[in-house]
Amino acid sequence: MTKEKFPIHAQWSNRTAFILAATGSAVGLGNIWKFPYITGENGGGTFVLIYLCCILLVGLPVMIAEIMLGRRGKQSPINSMKTLAAAEGRSKAWKWLGWMGVIAGFLILSYYSVIAGWAMSYIFKTASGMFLGATADGVNSIFKSFVGDPERVLAWHTLFMVMTMVVVSRGVKNGLEKAVTYLMPMLFILMIVLVIYAMTTGYFEQGALFMFSPGAITGKGILIAMGHAFFTLSLGMGAIMVYGSYLSEDYSIVQASIYIALADTVVALLAGLAIFPVVFANGLQPGAGPGLIFQTLPIAFGHMQGGTLIGVMFFVLLVFAAWTSAISLIEPAVAWLIENKGHTRVYASVVMGFWTWLLGLGTIFSFNIWKDDTWSIPFLFHNMHFFDTLDYLTANIMLPLGGLFIALFAGWIMRTSSSKMELNTVPAIYKIWHFLVRYVTPVAVIIVFLRAVGAI
Ligand code: TRP
């Protein structure tokens, strides 16, 4: 049906280009900034275990489904869902799934860009040598005074949004592929260097035990672990669907998904192993919150051999990783504006970039002038400020909900013959996948939702 119909968007130039771009989307602040701090806040071991189970049993099947829907639909998520539903003789209402994704991506990017801005400013802080010989208190007060100053953070947030929209306005393909080829492996090597440093602190074992030995967890903690599995793999909002729509027919979706999920998980675990030993070696709190990596890694850079150079490289690569993720957060919205409103790519990028930038102000203020403005909704959340609310709403509610519907669509709405043909894999693997998206993923998401609100 839609196979040759919508050639408005580019195709990846070769097989590895798709894997690279999708890995670039998956590996980002979620792995290095978010995973450690939510692991710290939720008590470590059990949280990590649940996260890993969710990657395998929920994330991976949804990723396969999402890429598959994208490749079949060949358009922005909204239009792909509409076309695919029509092709199966179902309601056009499925396009709302695409809409929720567009909105989620926009909301996430608004705060993602602010945090990427923090990381950007840390390139220069590290380069200036201000962390040399730093103490935990010193690093902490540098962080607090930085995020406490809205104007400085705004400048970095603005710069990051401009960088993102420049790439998006030129089309996701140009330049991105090449950059990812070199910079991703470098990031990987640097993470290993940091883990090696962590081994010299004398607290490596304590850090590793914190991450891998089971402890207590709350229903909320389980929801956060599951939400993060979606977040870190860029699932549930159409980002990977859009990338899949630029994928040619002869590529094994299952194989690509396994590769992406594996790379993503390894980076997150390395980040944890680099950070927690430093946390314990310096008597810091694992539950310090969103500032965790900014309050721990500078101590490591300030004390290790060649720390300034390594630190600068680390933050450069972190910003780069955030950049390749940010692009995929806004691409669904831009693709839709191009298809449906007839805008040029440049115009669509500028419009989306502006609104995202504006909403980002809320996150900036959450760490200074709105710091004490928190609110609660019974059963849902407690004492959250603007940033917490956005993060919770998107990562823990919208993405899992998006993932649930993607699984339901791929498992129940789409004819078996269609999905079999599209995935084109070994029968046994197809069967396992089909079982997972039909039963395991939907049931898991629903149970976790119910538990989080205390209903079971
Ligand atoms: N996965 C990215 C990270 O871990 C963030 C991201 C990019 C994302 N695109 C997404 C999250 C789409 C959810 C949905 O940093």
Query: Does residue 398's CB lie within 6 angstroms of at least one atom of ligand 1?
Result: no
Q: What is the model's pLDDT at position 323?
A: 94
pTM of the model: 0.94
Pick the atom of ligand 1 nearest to 29's CA. Answer: 15
Query: Does residue 59's CB lie within 6 angstroms of at least one atom of ligand 1?
Result: no
Query: Does residue 31's CB lie within 6 angstroms of at least one atom of ligand 1?
Result: yes
Question: Cα(86)–Cα(67) distance, rounded to whole angstroms?
Answer: 19
Ligand 1 pocket mutation pick from 118, 187, 232, 331 by most atoms within 8 angstroms of CB: 232
Query: Does residue 119's CB lie within 6 angstroms of at least one atom of ligand 1?
Result: no
* Closest residue by CA, ligand 1 atom 8: 234
For residue 269, the one-letter residue type is L
Distance between Cα 67 and ligand 1 center (Å): 15
How many CA atoms within 13 Å lie on the side-chain side of 131? 30
Q: Residue 33 is encoded by which pair of tokens? A: 């900034």
Pick the atom of ligand 1 nearest to 264's CA. Answer: 4
For residue 1, the one-letter residue type is M
For residue 89, the one-letter residue type is G
Q: Residue 378 is encoded by which pair of tokens? A: 């019974």
Q: What is the model's pLDDT at position 184?
A: 86
Distance between Cα 324 and ligand 1 center (Å): 9
Question: Cα(427)–Cα(253) distance, rounded to whole angstroms?
Answer: 14
Question: Cα(13)–Cα(185) distance, rounded to whole angstroms?
Answer: 20
Distance between Cα 452 and ligand 1 center (Å): 22
Q: What is the model's pLDDT at position 2?
A: 37
Ligand 1 pocket mutation pick from 23, 25, 233 by most atoms within 8 angstroms of CB: 25
Pick the atom of ligand 1 nearest to 322's CA. Answer: 15
Question: Cα(294)–Cα(130) distance, rounded to whole angstroms?
Answer: 13
Mean pLDDT by 10 residues, the chain (456 residues): 45 74 94 98 96 97 96 89 92 90 96 98 97 95 97 98 92 69 88 95 97 93 97 95 83 92 97 96 94 96 94 96 93 89 94 97 96 85 90 95 96 94 94 97 95 83
Distance between Cα 89 and ligand 1 center (Å): 32
3-state secondary structure of 414: coil
**Dihedral, CA atoms, 110, 65, 444, 41, nearest 10 degrees?**
-30
Pick the atom of ligand 1 nearest to 237's CA. Answer: 14
Question: Cα(121)–Cα(56) distance, rounded to whole angstroms?
Answer: 35
Query: Does residue 80's CB lie within 6 angstroms of at least one atom of ligand 1?
Result: no
Q: Where are the alpha helices (DSSP H) in 201-291?
A: 204-212, 219-232, 239-245, 253-281
